[in-house]
Amino acid sequence: MAEMMKPELVSTDVRNKLEDLSGVEIKPGDNPYNALIKACHGNAAEIQSLYATHRIARNLQQKEKFLSPELNELIIDPFLLRLESPELEPGFKDPRNCLVFWARPPDHIIQLAAHLQQALKQAAPNLWLMPTHRMHMTTLEIAHSRTPAEIASMVALMRPKIPSLTNISFAKRARLVKPFISYDLSAFAVSFLPAAGEAVLSPSPMAPHTEHIAHPGFLNDDAAESDNYTYHHLRRDVFDEAHATGVEIGSRYVVPSAHITLGRYLTQADHETPEQRQNWIQAIDNLNKWLESKVWDVEGGQFIGEWIVGQERGLDARNGALWYGGGRTIMVGEGF
């Protein structure tokens, strides 16, 4: 008797597409990050507003889905489920290889993220949480779901430019503020907005550092001027420099979002009933109110909710099976 073929696993992003809800139209063939910058006339406040529009609209969209009487189940990641429960398919390995440039959060942001994880775990005890040492924010995804050989050929093509790409955040410093829990039917994250003149709260660059390229906000309190170069500008520049190597950039999505995944759902147990789902949404809403009142723009508080990309380490060029924070580092840029 022929061996029965196993059904092909489907990634959660296929069932749970991340749409751009900012209202900006991206033309095929263009640098996709330029469209939003042009729509906002390069203005940091307008860019921040569109990022906020996207994450608020998405949370409202997802809340409606969670609370709909027609919701049958959450979207469980079949790859992660097999990695975390190896008895389901002994010997399973994630076949999806990727090539990315990550921004690694500094220690004070990891502390905040870990606090948020534990608060959410109280509301839903069966969550899978991203290990803190694997936390990251994807600045640019070059390729995903490829073979090791395909990724290796891309790395070879890009290798001469990888040092400048990973070090780009040392001289071009983009600040992120206003952390907020974002969520959907498969995962949840802490998202940030590009800064637009808010008071600088992050720790100063670690000595020794080069004064003339230190973040201007640290030196003369002119945060508004230094914030003219936003995280979206940084993503635009990383895209341009990566594209100039000749590599084909195949990002799954390009949306105005700066987020660190906190965790995923691996079971329906915490969200089976309407009451459980309502409690989950309420827990997220309460955390977002706490963030806004106790973390945003708060000097001397328990947590700092602002960070500058490149604090402690530069961008992390990484490849391999890294969907859940794994893989291996090719090179990390200099931090400050």
193 phi and psi angles, rounded to 5 deg: -115, 145
User: Can you read off the two tokens belonging to residue 212?
Assistant: 């003339």
To the question of pTM greater than 0.75 for the whole model, the response is yes
Confidence at residue 317, expressed as pLDDT on a 0 to 100 scale: 98
Q: In whole angstroms, give the CA distance from residue 159 to residue 334.
A: 17
Digitized pLDDT (tens) for each residue of the chain, 336 residues in all? 334 335 566 666 555 555 665 556 666 667 889 989 999 999 999 999 999 999 999 999 999 999 999 999 999 999 999 999 999 999 999 999 999 999 999 999 999 999 999 999 999 999 999 999 999 999 999 998 899 999 999 999 999 999 999 999 998 999 999 999 999 999 999 999 999 999 999 887 767 665 544 444 444 455 667 899 999 999 999 999 999 999 999 887 788 999 999 999 999 999 999 999 999 999 999 999 999 999 999 998 999 999 999 999 999 999 999 989 999 999 999 998
* Sheet order of strands, 137-146 included: 137-146, 97-103, 316-320, 328-332
Asked if residue 208 has a cis previous peptide bond (ω within 30° of 0), the answer is: yes
HSE value, Cβ hemisphere, 13 Å, CA-based, for 41: 3
* Fold for the domain defined by 30-332: Cyclic Phosphodiesterase; Chain: A, (3.90.1140)
Question: CB–CB of 16/186 below 8 Å?
Answer: yes
* DSSP assignment of 191-235: EEEE-SSPPP-SPPPPSS--GGGS-HHHHHS-HHHHTTS-HHHHH
Question: Dmax over Cα atoms in the chain, in whole Å?
Answer: 76
Question: CB–CB of 315/165 below 8 Å?
Answer: yes
Q: If we measure between CA atoms, which residue out of 181, 223, 229 comes closest to residue 201?
A: 223
HEC secondary structure over 25-56? CCCCCCCHHHHHHHHCCCCHHHHHHHHHHHHH
Q: In whole angstroms, give the CA distance from residue 189 to residue 187.
A: 7
Q: In whole angstroms, give the CA distance from residue 320 to residue 145.
A: 10
For the chain, where are the E strands, in sequence order? Answer: 97-103, 128-129, 137-146, 175-183, 187-194, 258-264, 307-308, 316-320, 328-332
Residues 6 or more apart in contact with residue 108 via CB below 8 angstroms: 202, 203, 303, 304, 307
DSSP symbol at 161: G
User: Can you read off the two tokens belonging to residue 272?
Assistant: 């089976």
Side chain identity at residue 122, one-letter code: Q
Angle between helices 107-123 and 274-294 (to 10 degrees): 150
Dihedral (C-alpha) 74, 75, 76, 79: value to the nearest 10 degrees?
180
Distances (CA, A) of 174 to 141, 193, 196, 314: 18, 11, 10, 12
Look-up: residue for tokens 């095929």? 28
Confidence at residue 107, expressed as pLDDT on a 0 to 100 scale: 96
